Chains A and B, each alone.
Chain A
Amino acid sequence: MPPEGIGATKVLYGIVMLPGARMAIESLGADIKNRLYAVRDVLQDNPRPEGCVPFPVPTLPNAYTYEVSYPPFKYQLVYIVEDVKEKVTVLTMQQLRFA
């Protein structure tokens, strides 16, 4: 990724959202849905934003999780970053009640 600054072109990552993830987001209320779609927008600017955590599977080194707290639940996006293709694939969106 080129450094940001004068003359540098900001790289935007293309987002792919798997149907399961989209359906899970669409099933939620308007407010949390907007917040989760806002994460999608953040990821296209920066696929490794502050707060993202590497997914704990060594065979998937480019997978990350990003959590949105929305009491009483937490919502977790799991996604894969492909830097060469400048692409982020959102695999799942999961609601966490106990974790």
Chain B
Amino acid sequence: MPAEPSTGGQSRSLTAEDLGAAVRLINEGTSHGPTDWRGLALSLFGYAAGGGGIFGLIVGLVVVWFDSRLGVALLVGAGAGLAVLGVLTKLRPELVDTERRGAIRAQLQNSAIGQASASVWRTRSFRSNLVMGIAIIIALSLVLCGFGWLAYGLVTKGQVWGWPIVLVFAGVLPTFLLSAVSNYYLYRYLSRVAQLRPVFEQRFERAVAASEPVEVSQQEISVLADLEISQNRQQVAQAIAQLPKVRTSFYGVVIDSELQDYLARLPEDRRDERQAAREAADMLQFDPHPIQSSQAPGQTDVRMMQAASCDVFYRVDDEKERVVITAVRRGGESGGANAS
């Protein structure tokens, strides 16, 4: 959910615990990219070196067979560029790590202060898809035409022409420019967040020393909210990555309505039955036929298993990938909920 933009004016009291959490949020939020001009410059340099390296490598490998001097020069340049990228990846991984950049992009999507960059990435409207699609087609066409032209010159004339190489470069350039723009917005957002770190560290120390809450402006709360939401979105992204496996292997678990009512009415000292239903639901979604389960006595289509010292009864519909928990009975008791 996008955070409400700051309305200013109002403030909120934060305890030492809140402030500690705020410092952790800021540290985590700013650990994924450049927060100063030097970092931004290094990041752009890294991308230019890497992009140039890959470009030089591909063109150099083709050209070296026809013009050894130019080909070797391109390959040496490519090696140097990739080496720079390698060193930078080792020393400052946060500046060139594309995976982290993806995480930050998610962060920017939700940030109230990163609205401008958000608009670049957030909207997947037909128009933006069309523009992006056309841009990709043009870039690919330039690269293909360039390589075709280069190959023609090499095969028919045995010469390395300069213009085809320029054309290929022109096709690759937009990717770099897009990356540079993305980097700039990332830097702009993160540098603003990073400015809050010393402020909140001081407040945290003050709150701990005085054992009193500290007033924080609504605007700052808004930034913290952005960071919190973006961190949560990253967790959602990680969970979504598990989905393909879940979709094919997990069973949906239903707790029978009557059993739900029964469990809801249970007094606090009977919470083991509630816990049993929850534990069983958790186990059965992974494996509806666990080894410790057995057929319920006298009921052909009902199975039973033990959870939280209770007997849990359930039906399995393999076709619908569905488990219905129908009853929970305390161990040793003859009665139970809805044990039909």
Binding site for B on A (CB under 8 A): 12-18, 20-22, 30, 34, 37-38, 41, 44-45, 53, 55-60, 63, 65, 76, 78, 80, 82, 85-89, 91-92, 94, 96-99
Contacts and interface: CB of A to CB of B under 8 A. Distances in A.
Contact residues of A: prevailing secondary structure? mixed
A4 B223 CA distance: 45
B253 A15 contact: yes
Contact of A18 (B224, B229, B239, B281): B239
Interface of B: 1-3, 18, 21-22, 25, 109-110, 122-124, 221, 224-225, 227-229, 232-233, 235-236, 238-240, 242-243, 246-247, 250-255, 257, 260, 264, 271, 274, 278, 281-282, 285, 320-324
A97 B227 CA distance: 11
A56 to B, nearest CB: 6
B281 to A, nearest CB: 7
A91 B3 contact: no
Contact of A91 (B240, B264, B278): B240
A85 B252 contact: yes
A80 B122 CA distance: 20
A14 B323 contact: yes
A51 B115 CA distance: 26
Contact of A88 (B18, B233, B243, B252): B252
A92 B232 contact: yes
Contact of B239 (A15, A53, A88, A92): A92
Contacts of A34: 274
B235 A94 contact: yes
Given A96-B232, A99-B3, A99-B228, A80 B243 contact: yes
A96 to B, nearest CB: 6
Contact of B235 (A12, A20, A65, A82): A20
B4 to A, nearest CB: 9
Contact of B229 (A38, A44, A99): A99
Contacts of B224: 97-98
Given A99-B225, A99-B228, A92 B236 contact: yes
Contact of A87 (B110, B252, B255, B281): B252
A59 B106 CA distance: 13
B61 to A, nearest CB: 37
A21 B18 CA distance: 23
Contacts of A45: 257
A58 B124 contact: yes
B235 A16 contact: no
B281 A97 contact: no
A56 B229 CA distance: 11
A79 to B, nearest CB: 10
